[in-house]
Chain A
């Protein structure tokens, strides 16, 4: 028996992934269905030299992880819908100040207090546009327990490498299901840390514009005294009202994700080569879709599936290429069609977009997808 094999819950895999990625600070607030992440890290982090804090509210938790990250600790918070709404203000702050942080949202039924214990995928648009103003963000959506581990590591790697807040978007099913997983040997993991300045402090530009598009980041207390502000700032970090400097800074902020889009955007394609009908899916709905696809293929119906792993930036080009090859794109989601809308935009009428939606707290039954696809023929 491999000691790294166990029946593990998705939320625990997130917590373990965070530890493996080097996260040593967690601040959060109890909220179903994400609480197991906080509970697991409350037990684990202090014994690893890290720190855990239960804050007075979700806003405070988001502020604390940004503060800790500026102090040099890889930091994470975890929440669900109502708490995710509260965190948005400081997610914007992390975005404009380019502070690496990971935010986990285990989605539950909404709006408002909604259906606290049942699954939903209703926050996919909030994950993109929840905080005000145009801002760069990376959002990853795992569809299984092992992937929840891997994507948490990747979330930290992306956030450190590109200096951007990364949101890990699970739904309650992926957060709570126990699956058989064999975790990788820590020595086999790729763990990326933020780029440190190589110049002396007097030459350090904390928000320098160079060809990498990602400035080197000094931690507080390491001799590089600099200013961090949520106001639009220039390369020195101080606020500016100069239109040229504003434009240069915001162009870099957005451009850095465009520059590395090929590395950031990930999808999983299955059976797309010979497919006549396509499925676009993510998270737990992808599990329903995969089972539906198996059944349909067994019946000789050539169905292919593109699973979104990086939700934002959106894999528009990959979906458009798939739309070129199929008659229909079926989009199952636990919401009223938030991503279907985006798929329609990507598809540009190349394929007809067909929605399969559910917002009652039940998962999408594979048979619903099977029926919908049969209706497309």
Chain B
């Protein structure tokens, strides 16, 4: 496929470090859009602040690079104004689950139709390696110099519990699977989230002596377990593993459709009584 068609080439080179998972995720998003044959004019991509969120500057869609943690709020308003558009949100672990955590759970609860691609790199990469809500216990961040002591969020689990229609997880290694998961997420009517485990060799990797970006990606490959297999494993066996694949896919009422149905019912009742 022709990636150039979807890129704003004048804005390259991009800011991402070599070995970062962001570029892999970006290409997977473009393949999914291309595969679905959605016109670029009909796609909006909304992002927050952080490495992941720079994605909006590189893609030739209708793009909004918003404030830290808030992309879901902007995306919600945009989707309400233009329900016909395909709305994608690109965010990160800090953006979506720390400063933007409230928006994440409520967007999922509402089940508003949009697709979130969340790059989870276990750190605040852009600002140089501060601990995030997904920095593993004991791991080092510049603001956790003696090791992180806070429990981590299971982002996919959180969003499933909050009520999203579709939740999937993948790693940067499993690029072909990622195409598939994003495509399904876009096709799903409702709130979809694809959590992409994306290595950050520069900040998280360096602080925690995880080796090169390539090594980190291979380590993720080794840690990955497909959901079908994971369902047969014990909790102990799954420790340190990354369960990948479609975690939830359910048919539940979508927010805007529910709004429209409630209003149509009210108007019918009025017209009926008049």
A225 touches B40 (CB 8 A): yes
B74 touches A67 (CB 8 A): yes
A67 touches B81 (CB 8 A): yes
Which of the residues B10, B63, B74, B84 comes within 8 Å of A221, measured between beta carbons? B84
- Tell yes or no: B90 within 8 A of A by CB: no
Known contacts A68-B78, A229-B65; A223 and B41 CB within 8 A of each other: yes
A229 touches B57 (CB 8 A): yes
Which of A57-65, A156-164, A251-259, A291-299 is the contact stretch? Answer: A57-65
A225 touches B77 (CB 8 A): no
Known contacts A57-B102, A71-B78, A229-B57; A63 and B70 CB within 8 A of each other: yes
Which of the residues B63, B65, B81 comes within 8 Å of A25, measured between beta carbons? B81
Known contacts A56-B106, A221-B44; A64 and B60 CB within 8 A of each other: no
Q: Smallest Cβ distance from A229 to chain B, in angstroms? A: 4
Q: List 14 A-B contacts (CB under 8 A).
A: A47-B263, A53-B80, A59-B103, A60-B103, A60-B106, A61-B73, A63-B67, A68-B81, A71-B77, A89-B70, A90-B73, A228-B64, A229-B56, A229-B57
Specify which chain A residues have a CB less than 8 angstroms from the CB of B76 in the assembled complex.
27, 53, 55, 60, 63-64, 67
- Tell yes or no: A22 within 8 A of B by CB: no
Tell me the chain B residues, 22-78 only, with Cβ under 8 Å from chain A: 40-42, 44, 46, 56-57, 60-67, 70, 72-78
Tell me the chain A residues, 79-93 only, with Cβ under 8 Å from chain B: 89-90, 93
B73 touches A64 (CB 8 A): yes
Tell me the chain B residues, 75-123 only, with Cβ under 8 Å from chain A: 75-82, 84-85, 102-103, 106
Residue of B nearest to A45 (CB): B263
Interface size in chain A (residues, C-beta < 8 A): 41
Q: Smallest Cβ distance from B42 to chain A, in angstroms? A: 6
B65 touches A60 (CB 8 A): no
CA–CA, A51 and B65, complex, Å: 24
Which of the residues A68, A71, A225 comes within 8 Å of B60, measured between beta carbons? A225
Specify which chain A residues have a CB less than 8 angstroms from the CB of B67 in the assembled complex.
63, 89-90, 93, 230
Known contacts A47-B267, A220-B78; A59 and B63 CB within 8 A of each other: no
B65 touches A67 (CB 8 A): no
A-B pair number, CB within 8 angstroms = 140
Q: Which of B62, B75, B84 has the most CB of A within 10 A?
A: B62
B74 touches A66 (CB 8 A): yes
- Tell yes or no: B11 within 8 A of A by CB: yes
Specify which chain A residues have a CB less than 8 angstroms from the CB of B8 in the assembled complex.
227, 238
- Tell yes or no: A72 within 8 A of B by CB: yes
Specify which chain B residues have a CB less than 8 angstroms from the CB of A90 in the assembled complex.
67, 70, 73
- Tell yes or no: A302 within 8 A of B by CB: no
- Tell yes or no: B259 within 8 A of A by CB: yes
Q: Smallest Cβ distance from B16 to chain A, in angstroms? A: 15
CA–CA, A72 and B103, complex, Å: 23
Specify which chain B residues have a CB less than 8 angstroms from the CB of A55 in the assembled complex.
73, 76, 106
Q: Smallest Cβ distance from A25 to chain B, in angstroms? A: 6
Specify which chain B residues have a CB less than 8 angstroms from the CB of A67 in the assembled complex.
46, 64, 73-81
- Tell yes or no: A271 within 8 A of B by CB: no
Which of the residues A62, A69, A93, A220 comes within 8 Å of B62, measured between beta carbons? A220
A63 touches B74 (CB 8 A): yes
| In the complex, per-residue mask of A188-205: 1 if CB is within 8 Å of any chain B CB, else 0 | 000000000000000000
B80 touches A25 (CB 8 A): yes
- Tell yes or no: A129 within 8 A of B by CB: no
Specify which chain A residues have a CB less than 8 angstroms from the CB of B61 in the assembled complex.
225
A64 touches B82 (CB 8 A): no
Residue of A nearest to B76 (CB): A64
Which of the residues A27, A57, A59, A226 comes within 8 Å of B77, measured between beta carbons? A27
CA–CA, A123 and B98, complex, Å: 29
Specify which chain A residues have a CB less than 8 angstroms from the CB of B79 in the assembled complex.
67, 71
A68 touches B77 (CB 8 A): yes
Specify which chain B residues have a CB less than 8 angstroms from the CB of A231 in the assembled complex.
65
Q: Smallest Cβ distance from A301 to chain B, in angstroms? A: 52
Specify which chain B residues have a CB less than 8 angstroms from the CB of A75 in the assembled complex.
77, 81
B66 touches A221 (CB 8 A): no
Q: Smallest Cβ distance from A13 to chain B, in angstroms? A: 24
Residue of A nearest to B42 (CB): A221
CA–CA, A93 and B65, complex, Å: 10
CA–CA, A66 and B82, complex, Å: 13
Q: Smallest Cβ distance from A375 to chain B, in angstroms? A: 49
CA–CA, A239 and B49, complex, Å: 13
Specify which chain A residues have a CB less than 8 angstroms from the CB of B62 in the assembled complex.
220-221, 225-226
CA–CA, A129 and B76, complex, Å: 27
